[in-house]
Structure formats: C-alpha cells, structure tokens
Amino acid sequence: MMATINDSRSVIIGLVLCWSLVAAGQQFGGGRGAADDPYRIATAEQLLSIGADPNLLDKHFLLIADIDLSNYRFEQAPIAPNTDPCAPFFEGDPFTGVLAGNGHVIRHLHVEGGPFLGLFGSLAPSAVVSGLGLEDCLILGQYNVGALTGAQEGTVSGCYSTGVILGDFYVGGLIGEIYEAGRLSGSFSTAAVTGIGGDAGGLVGGNVGGSIWNCHSSGQTNGGPARAGGLVGFNRQGIVGHCYSTGPVLGDRYVGGLVGTNDGGTVSGCYSTGAVTGFSLSMVLGGLVGQDYGGNVSDCFSTGAVTGYSEVGGLIGAASGGCVSNCYSTGAVSGHVWIGGLIGAHHPWGANGFWNVETSGLATSNGGTGLTTAEMQTMETYLEAGWDFVGESANGTAETWEMPPEGDYPRLSALAGYEPVLPQGQGTLADPFLITNAEELGSMGHRPFASYRLDVDLDLSDVTWSVAPIPAFAGNFDGNGRRIHDLQIHGAGFLGLFGYLGTDAVVSDLGLESVSVQGSGSAVGSLAGRSRGKLTTSYGTGTVSGGAFTGGLVGYQSGSVADCYGSGKVRGGRIPRGLLGRNEGRVATCFWSGEDKRELWYADGVVEDVTIAEMQDIETYLNAGWDFVGETENGTADLWTICSGQDYPHLSWEGIVCAE
C-alpha cells in the first residue's frame, strides 16, 4: 500500500492511484522490457508500476532520470512486496528481472511496515540490480529490512544507500539478508542502522551463504542483544572479501567493527577503523569480528578502539574452532575479563598475527605476537612471518599487502588502489581469463566472481604460501586438462589451492601434482580447504596434513564432488577418510589411494574400503556404474581410463598410455 503524504485522504488516494496504474497499463518511457530493449523509467509513476503488475517482475528496466519519491509513503516494498506479514519467510512474487540504475538516484524512499522491506521485498536468484543510488531513505520494519531489498538471492552491484534503517532482525543499510545464491559487489552504505533484536549490519544484516565483495560502509550501526557489525551483522558460511567499514558500532553481545559473528564463513582482505563499544556488561566484542565460530579470518586488520566487559579483543572478541592468520590490530582495548590485544577469549588455530602493545595498552592476547609501533611499521616483521607483499613472490603471488611509502602500518593493496595483473580475456564464460603463470594465478583472488581457464601447466616450487593462494572464490575455473605442480602451503586457516569455494563456484578438469599442504585448522585439503561449490573431473596427489577435517582433496565439503580422485599421504583430522576430511554434500564416482588406506566413494557419499588389487581392476568400477573409455553401458562421456592390473583409474583427459 502507498499514499501521498501531502493529503489528509492519503491512504484512499494511494489505493486509487495504485489500482489506476494497473487499470491504465501505465506506459514507460520507451522500450519493450527485453534485454536488448529495456523499459525506460523516468518518473515515479513508471517505477511504481513495476510493483503494480506481477507480469512485469521478470522484465528488464533502465532508469533514464533521477526519481523523487517524497510524495509517497509505503507500507510494503514498492516492488515485489511480501504478501503475508505473519509468515516467517517471504510470501509473494520476488523480482526476477533486471533493473539497471544507470548511475541514477531514487530519493526519499519511505517505507513503514512489517517484514521484507526496501525498494524490493525480495530478489530472486535470476534478479540483477546495478548502478542504483538510494538517498535519504527511511525504512522502518520488522525483520529483513534494507534500503534496496529485504532479501537477496540475485546479483547486486554498484549500488549505495543513505538515510535511516530500523528494524528488529536482519537489518542492513542496503540489504536485509543475503542467501546462498546472492552476490553483492562494488556497493556501499552511509545509512544509520539499528537492529533492535539483533543481526544489524551497516551494509547487510545477515549473509547466509552468499558473497560480499569490494564493499564498504561508514554509518553508525546500533545492535540489540546479539550480533552487530559495521558491515555485516551475521556471516554464516558466506564470503566477505576486500571490504571495509569505518563507522562506529554499538551493541551488547557479538559485536564487531566489520562482522558481528562469523559462523563457518570466511573473512579475507578486509579492515575496520570504527570504534566498537558495548554496554556495561557487554560480551564478545572485537575490532574486526566479534565472534568467530569455526570460520576463517585472514589478511585483515583493525584500528578502532574496542570497549566492553568480557571477551574483548583488538581484532576478535572470541575465536572458537576457527582460524586466524596474517592479521593485525592497533586499537586501544579495554575490558575486565578475557581481554587481549589481538584476541580476547579462546585460542584459535593459527593466530599468525600481531598487535601493538603500545597503542592497545595490553601486553597479552589469546594468540598473536605483541610488538612495538616501530616493529609493526617494519616490513621485515611481516615478510619473516610469510605475508605476501607487492613486489615479492617468495611468500605468494596475490600481492596482498603493501607498505605505504611515507611509512606506516601495512595496508591491503586492493583497498589502496593497487591494480593486480590482468590476464588475457574478459573473465566471462565465453571468454575467460587465461592463466599462464604464477602471478596471474595469484590475481584470481582479486576477481573471485570471474571465469578462468588454465592455459599452461604451472610449476609453483619457488613459492610457499602461508594462506590459500586464492582465499575465496565464487566463479568458474576450467583446469583445461592442465596440471599445477609443487603447490606449497604452510600456514593456518582454510587451506588448499582455494581456501573457500562458495556456492556458485565450479572447478573442473584440474590436476594438482606433488602438493605439500601443511596446515592447522578445521579445513585443509589440496584443492580446497572448504567447498560449497561443484568439483568435477579433477585430482590431487602429494602430502596434506592439518587439524580437524583434513582431506586429500577437500578438507570440509558441503557442495558436490564427482569424478575426482586423490593419492598420497593425509595426516590429521577427526574423521579417518582420505579424499574428504568431512562430507556433508554429494559425492559420486571418486576414489582415494593413500599410503596405508584406499577408499572408493560412490553415489551420495557411500564409502567402501578396498584392496589394491580391487582398485586396479576395471570390473570394480564398471559394476559401480563408472563411465570408462571403450564402453557405453555406463555412459558415453568417456570420463575414466585404466591400465587394468597395472594402476588405478585416471581421468581420460590425462592421456595415460598403458604399458604393453
């Protein structure tokens, strides 16, 4: 429902206007609503007509002028509203089309109502919104409240918001909640955000399996009883990368300068500078992350002051079961119980980081090393710890850090204007970036949503990483039947060629040979530390060792793995399986041959221990339905080949020739 504000009969007039738009079939400023000829939007009436007709929700739109909504007030999202305010989930028709803001601005959006509020109630996985500004917004609701949308499963890029956003749960300056298929990039918010019940974020209230990249926020965030972050209130199994927050954050429990709670997700290449302040007995406050639970925090820093009562840390308030690597903090820290310069409570895996004992006022921490200001402003301090800097390649080729020429603490190169090497190609599925050397491989971490193809075999024996070469990835990587030799990673966190593979990630036709991955933490493998993506027709050989959930191919897998294999040594882990340290997803037609153990993985993750003779017999695999070269009963893709009685199966693209 919407109404004009300047009329005493505003509700009635608003209803009449809304229905009149449908009856009249409001004309746009041109276009057919197609991808190559979108509807043009130049007025408020044209914009609002999208929400008045469900048949328009899958069309393409282009703003050709700024729009002022100051004469309207809405009780539901103007576009794709929720239809049942009592239902716990979104009810109604989500927006499935494309809206290109074209650099234009929508001003004075005012929505007061129940759940799922914003310009959109919900964005479906196919939805795309780009290049749109929302200025001077006032959004007041219950849960899933944001300036742009209450819920996002689609793609949002190049958008921003200003104003005031207030709600109960999942309240964000731009997005209320992002789900698994959601991607948010190149966006920011300066809005003041308040989450009365919790899950409040300066940009996003909650990120549940989605990806947030190259974003920032600067408004004040006020959290309720639990989970408030300067950028994201709650990050569960999602990606937060190359982001920063500068606004102050206030809350009671699980409060962070960037992320309130990181639950099994990854936070990489980020920083925060705003003050984090709790109430009289506030617990679990951190300059960057309030609570890290089974997640991964790498290549990050925080500089804001942190004030609370217990479990207070310069970087992380409390870290339980997760990993912290290559991070530092410099802010003042004050509290009463369980306080630390880097980490307040619980000792995480790794904790390869530093804090300033002079500026923090603390000489102790649960993890990390305390240094003076002079030591923390010396590049050699970090190089000796294995940090990857611009201009050197011994510690990695991602060029993650750089030292300011005028002298200061290290800064993240990607957020300081550094442009990584640009491989040949456009980064699309049709024209992927071509990876031809170690530097181009390292640059993948700067463009995690793009498509890539390995164009040559790579020898990485001259490089030793302390974190995953590609910390987080949600794009497409075509190994192209090529090999990567002698990958060496010695550190902590989600470790593998890919640290974390998001839901949309696809990796195929890749061979990893003679790897040496030595890590600690809850997810260590040769190809990926943790994967929620799709892995096919790939293999890894070599040595992998780590803590909980260590696997020869993937440490912790909750996506899908098919037609893959591994061989070599696996040490560590709670579950005695070699291919996958922990499996919560789908696995089919894979095997592992270890130093003292062999196993076959069938459909849906059923595992069978077998002998060497059985693993070298083609009948073992044919009976299980594997598709081999030379037979058609199990399929015609010819995925596997074997020198029966001589060796284990190989992927057909490897080109193995059997002995006479």
* pLDDT at 500 (0 to 100): 97
* pLDDT at 279 (0 to 100): 86
* pLDDT at 467 (0 to 100): 95
Contact 351, 320 (CB under 8 A): no
Q: Lowest-confidence range among 415-419, 529-533, 556-560, 573-577?
A: 573-577
Average pLDDT, the chain: 93
* pLDDT at 235 (0 to 100): 98
Give the percent of the chain with pLDDT over 90. 85
**Higher pLDDT, residue 625 or 185:** 185
Q: How far apart are CA 442 and CA 126, in angstroms?
A: 30
Residue 383, SS3 per DSSP: helix
* pLDDT at 407 (0 to 100): 85
Work out whether the CA dihedral 11, 7, 64, 75 comes out positive or negative: negative
* pLDDT at 15 (0 to 100): 37
pLDDT tens sequence across 229-261: 999 999 999 999 999 999 999 999 999 999 999
Q: Please state, as a whole number, how many other Cβ atoms lie within 10 Å of the Cβ of residue 658.
A: 11
Q: Lowest-confidence range among 7-11, 352-356, 415-419?
A: 7-11
* pLDDT at 2 (0 to 100): 52
- The mean per-residue pLDDT over the stretch 277-306 comes to 95
- The mean per-residue pLDDT over the stretch 275-302 comes to 95
Per DSSP, the residues of 306-334 read: EE-SEEEESSEEEEES-EEEEEEE-S-EE
* pLDDT at 88 (0 to 100): 85
Residue 8 has pLDDT above 70, yes or no: no
Residue 10 has pLDDT above 50, yes or no: no
Q: Lowest-confidence range among 9-18, 159-168, 246-255?
A: 9-18
* pLDDT at 517 (0 to 100): 97
pLDDT tens sequence across 73-113: 999 999 999 999 888 899 999 999 999 999 999 999 999 99
Q: How far apart are CA 131 and CA 185, in angstroms?
A: 11
- The mean per-residue pLDDT over the stretch 311-319 comes to 97
* pLDDT at 19 (0 to 100): 39
Contact 333, 370 (CB under 8 A): no
**Higher pLDDT, residue 158 or 8:** 158
Q: Please state, as a whole number, how many other Cβ atoms lie within 10 Å of the Cβ of residue 133.
A: 18
- The mean per-residue pLDDT over the stretch 531-553 comes to 94
Q: How far apart are CA 504 and CA 181, in angstroms?
A: 7
pLDDT tens sequence across 605-656: 788 888 999 999 999 999 989 999 999 999 999 999 999 899 999 999 999 9
Residue 17 has pLDDT above 50, yes or no: no
